[in-house]
Amino acid sequence: MELKRLLFMLISLLAISLFLVACGSDDSEVEGDADSNSGDGGEATEEAPDFLSILTGGTSGTYYPLGGEMASTITDATGIQTDALSSNASADNVIALQEGEAELAFVQTDVIDNAVNGVNAFEGNKVENVQAIGSLYPETIQIVTTKDSGISSVEDLAGKKVSVGAPGSGTYINAEQILEIHGMTIDDIDAQNLDFGESTGGIQDGNIDAAFITAGTPTGAVEGLGATVDVSIIPIAEEKINDLVEKYPFYAKDTVKKGTYGLEEDVNTVAVLAMLAVTDDVPEDTVYEITKAIYENADSMAHDKASLISLETALDGIGIEVHPGAQKYFDEKGISAE
């Protein structure tokens, strides 16, 4: 009897030992799996890219030189080699982002709004992979001609040779909308698809009469024209500005100040905002660092327009989704859209 009791105790102890070993083995496997899923115990993060490209605009506009300085700032701050590339500007830049040809691009707020909503130039081609980093500075719509051209109003452009921007540019869309508010269409002018440098060169040579130029003022190409001829900027009447803003809220009233290009008085016009867009597949941490680099180092950029890049206005005019990386930075700084 005593032997049976002893044997029973030994079997029970063995069973308990085997159970504890099995439990220990399961715990180890679970812990090992957890470690392999989370790396160092934190959330998995996407790997930062080795290179980034920023699409800008024509070499004689504002986007290209400012984009070059911005690319250098991003490279220095993040360690990611970033290059600024010349392009046909806003609309073409959005398509290039859509097709994965670059990661970052300068665009106008009105153009990106059209793109994500699939309207105007983007009818039937809704762009779904592009998000915002932030606004940069106002872009003034300048209708440029010469003092002796005889053109003093938008209506006077009828029948004239007028540059409406490079094909695919936001300037073209601005020209369409401004003409529309004046009861005109592109067909009412002899439209020329020229970039800024070609536009001012054409005015200087007498090959065209006027040009729509959407860019921060002063614009280099227009300053160059002003060195050889007396520049005139065609004003937009107050009531037409109000009509335009009412129909297209991404516009705002603006002024080309007296003294710019040798102007003798202020000229009323409108502006949209230049902004930086990014594809949604750029990692959140990378976009956070890009956003921080731009808004904390704008004062070290030499271009005149860099002085207008401000954290306080970074979300002005942004009507599309902000990239989570940029949003994280703005949230930390207490910046929200008005």
CATH topology of domain 51-136+274-333: D-Maltodextrin-Binding Protein; domain 2 (3.40.190)
pLDDT in the model for residue 45: 63
- pLDDT band of 12, cuts 50, 70, 90: low
In eight-state DSSP terms, residue 49 is P
pLDDT in the model for residue 98: 97
Give 146 or 195, the one with higher predicted confidence.
146
Q: Report the alpha-carbon distance of residue 332 to residue 338 in Å, rounded.
A: 17
pLDDT in the model for residue 338: 64
Q: Report the alpha-carbon distance of residue 303 to residue 84 in Å, rounded.
A: 15
Q: 3-state class of 168 per DSSP?
A: coil
Kindly report the number of other CB atoms within 10 A of residue 31's CB atom.
Answer: 10
CATH 3.40.190.10 domain extents, the chain:
51-136+274-333, 139-272
Give 335 or 12, the one with higher predicted confidence.
335
Average pLDDT over the chain, rounded to an integer: 87
Look at residues 274, 279, 270, 304 and name the one whose alpha carbon lies nearest to residue 89: 274
Query: Span 316-320, mean pLDDT?
Result: 85
Query: Span 7-21, mean pLDDT?
Result: 48
pLDDT in the model for residue 129: 97
Express as a percent the part of the chain with pLDDT over 90.
Answer: 67
Phi, psi of 153 (to 5 degrees): -145, 165
Mean pLDDT lowest for which of 1-10, 281-290, 313-322? 1-10
pLDDT in the model for residue 89: 82
pLDDT in the model for residue 84: 97
Query: Span 26-35, mean pLDDT?
Result: 36
Query: Span 35-64, mean pLDDT?
Result: 72
Superfamily name with CATH number, domain 139-272: Periplasmic binding protein-like II (3.40.190.10)
pLDDT in the model for residue 306: 93
- pLDDT band of 86, cuts 50, 70, 90: very high
Q: Which residues of 49-81 are buried (b: 16+ CB within 10 A; e: fewer)?
A: beebbbbbbbebbbbbbbbbbbbbbbbebbebe
Kindly report the number of other CB atoms within 10 A of residue 186's CB atom.
Answer: 14
pLDDT in the model for residue 329: 98
Q: 3-state class of 201 per DSSP?
A: helix
pTM beyond 0.85: the answer is: no
Q: Is the pLDDT of residue 65 over 80?
A: yes
- pLDDT band of 48, cuts 50, 70, 90: confident
Q: Is the pLDDT of residue 1 over 90?
A: no
pLDDT in the model for residue 185: 96
pLDDT in the model for residue 168: 62
Q: Is the pLDDT of residue 101 over 70?
A: yes
pLDDT in the model for residue 215: 85
Q: Report the alpha-carbon distance of residue 25 to residue 27 in Å, rounded.
A: 6
Instruction: Please list, in sequence order, all residues whose beta carbon lies within 8 angstroms of the beta carbon of residue 186, skipping any fewer than 6 positions away.
Output: 164, 175, 176, 179
Query: Span 144-148, mean pLDDT?
Result: 97
Query: Span 211-217, mean pLDDT?
Result: 91
Query: Span 250-259, mean pLDDT?
Result: 90
pLDDT in the model for residue 295: 98
Q: Is the pLDDT of residue 3 over 70?
A: no
pLDDT in the model for residue 249: 76
pLDDT digits (tens, 9 = 90+) for 156-210: 999 999 999 876 677 888 999 999 999 999 999 999 999 889 999 999 999 999 9
Contact, 134 vs 295, CB < 8 A? yes
